[in-house]
Structure 1
Amino acid sequence: MTITQYGAETVLHCPADGPVLTGEQDALDLIGEAWGAQASAVVLPASRLDPSFFVLSSGFAGAFVGKFVNYRMVLVVVGDISAHLERSEPLRAFRRETNQGKQFWLLDTADEVAAKFQ
């Protein structure tokens, strides 16, 4: 894990080579790590998420993101999810909506992450 400062935001960056995250407890563990690092946001590689995260009807994305919302911590999932987006209009709509907010973003690149926190 690495920490980056973007203005007033302290951001915890998770490595791409960690275990696949599969449930709400994984979200709580990340939140705990962020709190321990005094971070207010977590950047998570899309590759770390179980593929069911990108199937909105599974409920995994809602439960996982919901933990971050409840604890008022920003979650940024970054990486190429184009294969999932091609198969799912609901996911495309979810991405459009959440990327306009301030709590959860689905972004393609690290440059987009830096721009969101500016």
Structure 2
Amino acid sequence: MNITVDQRPHSKVAVISSEDVVISSVNDALDLMADIRYNHECDKVLLRKEQLTEDFFELKTKLAGDILQKYINYQLKIAIVGDFSGYNSKSLNDFIYECNHGSNVFFKGTEAEALDALHGA
């Protein structure tokens, strides 16, 4: 895993690069959060959909809710980049829609859209 920082005036986003799954549990998410905060001094993170376990996108596992609640509680904004059209779950689509209308969690199609959302949040 590699972490780079995308910086704009008054905003820094940690961009995660990895071919592997980075978050497969709440503890993985907390470890990543600590790394981003303390080693990179960021309070915003961009991940690709493939860097999250598929269980994240099965809302009945409650993994997405548990992870995202931790990030919100610790005031870390997150954007997840990818194509979410392959998921046929109405509840997941509703969840993504609601997140995109907030200011803490974003699901975006491109890295540029995700960076704009995070830097603007």
Count of aligned residue pairs for this structure pair: 116
Deviates more, 1:43-52 or 1:108-117: 108-117
TM-score w.r.t. the length of structure 2 is 0.89
Q: Residue in 2 aligned with 1:8? A: 10
Residue 48 of structure 2: aligned partner: 45
* Stretch deviating more after TM superposition (7-16 or 96-105): 7-16
Identity of aligned residues (%): 28
Structure 2's unaligned 5+ residue stretches are none
Q: Aligned letter for 2:100? A: N
What is the match of residue 25 of structure 1? 27
Is contact 1:6–1:114 with CA below 8 Å preserved after alignment?
no
String of CA shifts for 1:55-77, please: whole Å, max 9, x gaps: 11110100111111110000111
TM-score, structure 1 as length reference: 0.91
Task: Identify the match of residue 73 of structure 1 among 76, 79, 100.
Answer: 76
CA shift, 1:20, in A, is 4.2
Question: Which blocks of at least 5 consecutive residues in structure 1 are unaligned?
Answer: none
Instruction: Report the alpha carbon displacement of residue 115 of structure 1 after superposing the two structures with TM.
Output: 2.5
**1:107 is matched with which residue?**
108
TM-align CA RMSD: 1.3
